[in-house]
Amino acid sequence: MPNPTAAMLVIGDEILSGRTRDSNMHHLAQRLTEHGIRLMEARVVADDHEAIIAAVNDLRARHDHLFTSGGIGPTHDDITAEAIAAAFATPITHRADAMALLQAHYDRAGLPFNEARQRMARIPDGATLIDNPISTAPGFTLGNVHVMAGVPSIFEAMLAGILPTLTGGAPLLSQSHRVNRGEGEIAGDFAALAAEFPDLTMGSYPFNTNGVYGTNLVIRGTDPARIDAAMTRLCALFP
Amino acid sequence: MPNPTAAMLVIGDEILSGRTRDSNMHHLAQRLTEHGIRLMEARVVADDHEAIIAAVNDLRARHDHLFTSGGIGPTHDDITAEAIAAAFATPITHRADAMALLQAHYDRAGLPFNEARQRMARIPDGATLIDNPISTAPGFTLGNVHVMAGVPSIFEAMLAGILPTLTGGAPLLSQSHRVNRGEGEIAGDFAALAAEFPDLTMGSYPFNTNGVYGTNLVIRGTDPARIDAAMTRLCALFP
């Protein structure tokens, strides 16, 4: 069985202006790889209704899952939920279960559950809520699209909640081998080895640490025995 | 004059597998913002010929500039130059000026200028070389597409070389104001202020530092006087 595929959509002006450095993409990539879901592409778009709709509809059609981060808070620049509803041509309302969760949360905190905070209960029809153990305001899954917060601690907690519910594939494994030689020196033999193992992918990543140049060679695949066989050959080629 | 627009394409399996955390996107975002070029979207794709071609042709058609990072080294997984040539339906050859640069570099280092290293001289017809002051192997500009290395130090050096040659717009300025109140508490008044300044964009970014919850409010635009006027109002609203 081939591994399920996924895409990510990061939503937020603050990433594209350089104000904030995204970290959710890297976290998602690591978790999906462990879970056997293959992250095929990622995109970052601004807080722009039409740009979000276009990216969502392109990516959800081409992958088993789409994960989004950002734009589900209480302020006027939080437009993700409305855009997702528009992408699915689905109505969006203040949903009763989300309203009840948030009402209880703000009651406990002694804070008013005002109109802005009520916006976080706006959920497209047919969606399933994603639990937010940190600040209550839920994410949601609609079809194959999982809509999560941009704040890293909340994104990570939401992902930890839903990932066990998604069917994974064989874990995507990797092994790496470090050689203190330049890429250009080992490229020929490395390419020949890669050609002998078409079921694996092999990548080379140059580094320069404290003036020492070298290359990390990485072998990826789903069959541990094949990866071991290739790694044995690789270590013999470049001791 | 509106600001020129740009997109970024990050190329590399290692980003999508979670092995490597991309930093070039954040660096580019900051430099373009200073230069008055508006980064509208960013994408990450795997080392996949068709995926690179599709992304390049989509993004270069919709923006004034496209910046790419990754995939221009000497190994078999470095396929960016071939894919860019295919995207432009342009021939690609070992170009004489790039061959000469690399020959001299490897002669100085006393290393063989082998077939793998010669691959780094493969440049699509009609491209202009981008200087690589760190490891010589050049990037290139073809049409409105700027093709650069994935290694951050080299990406940054290449960008520093070409950015002064690109026409910028008015710098994209921002000011921020930190308030120790939750987003939901200030959202209503903040949205009303944003509506009064349609020529500016206003964003709110919650934080939680050592147990203190608060919100950074950011105002962005190109007219310093307008930003000052909005910031004065903002500080009066939320002292």
Contact B115, A188 (CB under 8 A): yes
Residue B168, pLDDT score? 87
Q: Do B51 and A41 touch (CB under 8 A)?
A: yes
Tokens linked to A23: 């970290």
Closest Cα to residue B121, out of B143, B107, B136?
B136
Nearest-Cα residue of chain A relative to residue B14: A203
Whether the pLDDT of residue A44 is over 80: the answer is: yes
| Interface residue B14 vs chain A (CB under 8 A) | yes
Residue, of B115 and B210, whose pLDDT is higher? B115
Phi, psi of B64 (to 5 degrees): -70, -30
Q: Residue B210: pLDDT above 90? A: no
Q: What is the mean pLDDT of residues B12-26?
A: 95
Mean pLDDT, chain B, rounded, equals: 95
ipTM of the complex, rounded to two decimals: 0.94
Q: What six digits make up the tokens of A52?
A: 């979000």
| A221 pLDDT tier (thresholds 50, 70, 90) | very high
φ, ψ at A8 (rounded to 5°): -125, 145
Flag whether pLDDT at B92 surpasses 80. yes
**What value does the mean pLDDT take over residues A131-148?**
96
pLDDT of B175 reads: 94
Amino acid letter, residue B113: F
* Phi, psi for A64 (deg, rounded to 5): -70, -35
Q: Which of B19, B120, B187 sits opposite A75 (nearest CB)?
A: B187
Give the number of beta-carbon pairs within 8 Å between A and B: 192
CA of residue B192 relative to chain centroid, distance: 33
**A182 contacts in chain B (CB < 8 Å):** 111
* Torsion-angle region of B18 (φ positive above 0: left; ψ -120 to 50: alpha; else: beta): left
* Model pLDDT for residues B144-168, shown as the tens digit of each residue: 999 999 999 999 999 999 999 999 8
Q: From the CB of residue B127, how many other CB atoms can be counted at a distance below 10 Å? A: 23
Can you give the pLDDT at residue A87?
A: 98
Please enumerate in sequence order all residues whose Cβ is within 8 A of that of B192, keeping only pairs 6 or more positions apart, or say none. none
Q: Which pLDDT value is given to residue B25?
A: 97
Half-sphere CA count of A160, side-chain side, radius 13 A: 9
Q: What is the mean pLDDT of residues B80-87?
A: 98
Q: What is the pLDDT of residue A211?
A: 75
B196-203 long-range CB contacts below 8 Å, 24 or more apart? B196/B230, B196/B233, B197/B221, B197/B226, B197/B229, B197/B230, B199/B223, B199/B226, B200/B226, B200/B227, B200/B230, B201/A13, B201/A47, B201/A77, B202/A76, B202/A77, B202/B230, B203/A12, B203/A13, B203/A14, B203/A47, B203/A75, B203/A77
* Predicted pLDDT of residue B208: 79
- Tokens 């990539």: give the residue: A29
Please give the pLDDT value at position B213: 83
* pLDDT value at residue A208: 79
pLDDT of residue B26: 97
Q: In chain B, which residues have their Cβ closer than 8 Å to the Cβ of A220?
A: 13, 17
